[in-house]
């Protein structure tokens, strides 16, 4: 039995007769106003060709070994050596094994000196379940680049709140990785680039010329450290110790397959929690498939929902960057300072995300 496994088992005993499997440990009641203090930014090492990339499944499961083979082939095409987690192909319902197993696998990657960075193979649901089981001190002492999106937002935010280690909100390892997605990730993780991202031009041409897919809810410029991710996951962490302090931050959010009223409800939750009162600016990426098929003409469009939520803010806010559940998604760093221009639809990274 490894030292890491022994540590996890000891921790499990300390929680007091927690049932085996994916039963969450009992935690003290939390105030709705719980906020983690801002942590000093820690930059993980950049990637280089030949580095070992740890593959983990902290949420949903990988279908079978053939799916894993394809994921590993993708990583090798990146010029990296894949190292799948020990229990990668385990499954418990919709989860990739028990909470303890998934936490063990993630912590093992941070304990392995040969692993240079860690990438989630997919999203789904389950990352929040393992947060109480992670050793954040060990993660902070062994900073490595963590990559993923969707449900992995819970890990990005927890790392920002509890360790200060920067991470990359970008494609999971099982993504299709078209050239644009790969170029965006390579620039951040390998090159240490400081790009400026811009809302793309629209496809149509009319009398006013070729427009953009930009929707500016409130104009202006702002600077702050970039924090956020998937809206559903972020809103579910409100009131927990795994949500970072958003004071002065640029909040970025995205989502998929959520009806307009659900997006409205989650944004309202952030507003009621005071997050919009603390941020320096807001960037909403893509909301893929966010239409209620039964909405009809009496329904708000997703853009009306965003406009009603953001136009009354006192900070710049816009929508349209290629962040979210799309094939050619941008990779953006969580925890790094950026500057946004809501009128131009741009976001500029002010310093490299990796050391």
Q: For strands 52-56 and 81-84, give the pairing.
A: parallel
Residues 6+ positions from 233 with CB-CB distance below 8 Å? 127, 128, 150, 151, 153, 154, 157
Which one of 150, 167, 184, 331 is the catalytic residue?
150
Question: Within 10 Å of residue 31's Cβ, how many Cβ atoms?
Answer: 7
Q: Is-catalytic flag, 254? A: yes
Nearest CA-CA partner of 133 in 228, 34, 4: 4
Which one of 98, 169, 174, 325 is the catalytic residue?
325
Which one of 156, 254, 258, 259 is the catalytic residue?
254
Q: Is-catalytic flag, 150? A: yes
CA-based radius of gyration for the chain:
20
**Residue 320 to residue 318: CA distance in whole angstroms:** 7
Alpha carbon separation from 73 to 76, 144, 161, 176, 325 (Å, rounded): 5, 22, 33, 12, 22
C-beta of residue 253 within 8 angstroms of C-beta of residue 284: yes
**Residue 114 to residue 52: CA distance in whole angstroms:** 7
Q: Name the phi and psi angles at 54, rounded to 5.
A: -75, 135
Q: Is-catalytic flag, 325? A: yes
Residues facing 227 on adjacent strands: 251
Residues facing 215 on adjacent strands: 319
The maximal CA–CA distance of the chain, rounded, in angstroms, is 70
Instruction: Give the DSSP per-residue string, 148-174.
Output: E-GGGHHHHHHHHHHT-B-EEE---TT
Report residue 214 as tokens. Answer: 């930009």
Active site residues: 150, 254, 325
């Amino acid at each position: 039995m490894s030292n890491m496994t022994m540590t996890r088992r000891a921790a499990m005993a300390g929680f007091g007769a927690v049932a085996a499997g994916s039963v969450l440990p009992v935690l003290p009641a939390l105030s709705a106003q719980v906020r983690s203090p801002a942590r000093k930014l820690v930059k993980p090492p950049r990637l280089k060709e030949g580095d070992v990339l740890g593959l983990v499944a902290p949420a949903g499961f990988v279908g079978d070994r053939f799916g894993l083979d394809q994921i590993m082939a993708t990583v090798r095409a990146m010029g990296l050596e894949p190292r799948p987690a020990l229990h990668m192909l385990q499954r418990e319902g919709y989860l990739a094994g028990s909470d303890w197993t998934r936490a063990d696998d993630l912590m093992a990657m941070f304990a392995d000196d040969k692993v240079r960075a860690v990438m989630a193979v997919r999203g789904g649901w389950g990352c929040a379940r393992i947060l109480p089981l992670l050793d954040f001190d060990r993660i902070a002492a062994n900073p490595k680049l963590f990559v993923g999106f969707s449900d992995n937002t819970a890990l990005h935010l927890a790392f920002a709140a509890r360790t200060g280690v920067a991470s990359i909100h970008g494609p999971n390892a099982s993504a299709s990785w078209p050239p644009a997605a790969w170029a965006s990730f390579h620039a951040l993780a390998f090159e240490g680039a400081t790009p400026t991202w811009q809302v793309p031009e629209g496809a149509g041409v009319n009398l006013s010329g070729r427009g953009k897919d930009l929707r500016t809810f409130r104009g202006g410029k702002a600077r702050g450290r970039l924090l956020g991710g998937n809206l559903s996951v972020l809103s579910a962490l409100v009131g927990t110790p795994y949500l970072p302090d958003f004071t002065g931050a640029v909040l970025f959010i995205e989502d998929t397959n959520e009806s307009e009223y659900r997006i409205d409800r989650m944004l309202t939750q952030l507003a009621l929690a005071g997050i919009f009162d603390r941020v320096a600016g807001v960037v909403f990426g893509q909301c893929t498939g966010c239409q209620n098929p039964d909405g009809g003409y009496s329904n708000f469009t997703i853009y009306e929902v965003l406009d009603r939520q953001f136009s009354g803010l006192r900070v710049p806010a816009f929508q349209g960057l290629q962040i979210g559940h799309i094939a050619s998604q941008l990779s953006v760093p969580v925890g790094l300072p950026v500057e946004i221009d809501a009128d131009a639809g741009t976001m500029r990274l002010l310093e490299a995300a990796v050391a």
